[in-house]
Amino acid sequence: MDANKCPSEAKCSMFSVAFLESGDGLSACESCDLLPTKNEILAAEDNDLVAEIEDIVFWELGGQKTDWSHYPFEYYRLFCIWRRTERQIDNMRRSRPM
């Protein structure tokens, strides 16, 4: 791990301590010297999460049922948001005059 980059909230001891003390771990981020590098970590984590949800949607479209007991609740919520957004886009396309 690079000592000059944010380790991410899940691996940061300062974040954990601040979260336990105040319920707000982000307050630790505000005073951290590594804050400018945090966006790089978040972007990579976001991309990984989007790819995971995209795969689940792809499997569902192919008829593969998802056992949600193997995923965190947040994955199911994001899956639902993804599917709702797909339906909204589809409805907008169908309602557009040709």
67: helix, strand or coil: coil
Grouped pLDDT means (10 residues each) for the chain, 98 residues: 73 79 74 76 74 94 94 91 92 85
Domain hosting residue 78, numbered range: 9-95
**Res 79: pLDDT:** 94
Is residue 1 domain-resident?
no
Return the pLDDT at 58. 95
Indicate whether this model's pTM tops 0.85: no
In a domain, 88, yes or no: yes
Structure tokens at 25: 């771990």
Is 51 within the bounds of a domain?
yes
Residue 2 domain flag = no
pLDDT of residue 97: 80
Residues sharing a CB contact under 8 Å with residue 72, sequence separation 6 or more, in sequence order: none
Rounded CA-CA distance 54/32 in Å is: 33
Number of domains in the chain: 1
Q: Is 95 helix (H, G, I), strand (E, B) or coil?
A: helix
Q: Is residue 21 part of a domain?
A: yes
In this structure, is residue 4 part of a structural domain?
A: no
